[in-house]
Structure 1
């Protein structure tokens, strides 16, 4: 049995490609076109794991053979044991990440399924603050900032899906050279609902770039 090797965002890509393959089977009558769609789905899934072993490939490749919703559900369920959990984090570790915030409101960690987490986020309505925690190469990093609800839907910079957004603004630790007494604000539009964002995210590059711009 393989060790877990699939991260949440990769699992979301697999789900997307599996749905595309199944939709193709249902709607495409031309065998050559269908074969192309199925090959594309399989290729995109395998590209996520360039160092995959033969055993890993044997689990992933059936994405091109799905013919029913039952097949799809079974395929995804068989992959679930191989999901890499977001590293377990304690309340103490969270408080240490945001030690300047003496009245830090924490999420209920016991209610989170860390298999489906690419990043941890929560909001504190009382202080109008949003908090983001990410595992950067085995080390937890945290950023906090103000959030302003937009009350409308648009594309989230993290998951690139059309969701209800908030403007998240954090203060960069790097001061502008022209005015060292001032601080640079870094902002972007992110999903109000971090759970939905984690269900949608298929690439962590934008999130990592944003966190780096705040912390560097």
Structure 2
């Protein structure tokens, strides 16, 4: 039985290194350079995991032995049974995270392949609000804020790729503040969360932002 141990952002690291290594194999003839890139690709992948069994490490490090596009494709396909899905969540659980919204327009959960989700998010066009649900230490954290398109490209805080951005502004209460005292914390993020989830390779910036604005 396959025990899932690869989270979505870690799988994205593997995909990114696979693409980089394939491109290097197509464009570089120097064998010493190729061996260095092979070793580095395997190292970057294993460094993305805080803990690996010996078998898991050997499985991931196979990337350093491949030559053809078919080898890499088969490698990525063979890792899919080991993907650790986003934790199960129901519409009722999501609604409880946002109690102020009695008619919350949540996404169709049945249409989402949660193996490839690091954070769940959606935009309510009617209110120009972005909602994010993130699993952290055994519980779900929900945050919401105003989303404003910028009509320009830049680097998303979450996935760090150049993309069309929106400004995400979240109201939060400063420490030791009075009940009516709020401030806004904002960051530039992807307009399109599916591509962001397919590209995110590190959850550090995402978690830091979510924890800084959680209520």
TM-score, normalised via structure 2 length: 0.95
The residue that corresponds to 1:195 in the other structure is: 194
Corresponding residue SS for 1:141: strand
Match for residue 141 of structure 1?
A: 141
- Corresponding position: 1:215 with 2:210: no
Aligned to 2:93: 93
Detail structure 1 runs of 4+ shifted over 3 Å in the superposition. Answer: none
Which residue is 1:48 aligned to?
A: 48
* Unpaired stretches in structure 2, ≥5 consecutive residues: none
Counterpart of 1:33 in structure 2 is 33
Distance in 2, Cα, partners of 1:45 & 1:88: 26
Shift of 1:180: 6.4
Q: How far 1:2 sits from its partner (Å)?
A: 3.9
Q: 2:189, 2:200 → 1: CA distance?
A: 11
8 Å Cα contact 2:128-2:147 kept in structure 1:
yes
Shift of 1:174: 2.8
5 Å-filtered alignment, 1:34-183, equals 34-174=34-174, 177=177, 181-183=180-182
The number of residues matched between the two structures is 215
Contact 2:2/2:81 (CA < 8 Å) preserved in 1? no
Equivalent-residue separation in structure 1 for 2:133 and 2:205 (angstroms): 15
* Offset at residue 28 of structure 1 (A): 1.3
Unaligned ranges ≥5, structure 1: none
Kept in 1: contact 2:154–2:162 (CA 8 A): yes
Deviation at 1:51, TM superposition (A): 2.4
Structure 1 residues 50 and 137: CA distance shift in structure 2, 3 A:
closer
Q: Name the SS of the counterpart of 2:4 in structure 1.
A: coil
> Structure 1 residue 181: deviation in Å?
3.6
TM-score, normalised with respect to structure 1: 0.95
Q: In the aligned structure 2, how far is the partner of 1:22 from the partner of 1:187? A: 38
- After superposition, the C-alpha distances for 1:125-148 in whole angstroms (9 at most, x for unaligned) are 001110000001110010001000
Superposed CA offset, 1:32-73 (max 9, x none):
111101000011111123421122122111111221221111
SS in 2 for 1:6: coil
CA contact (8 A) 1:85 1:115 kept: yes
1:164 is paired with a residue of what secondary structure? strand
| 1:185 equivalent in alignment to 2:146 | no
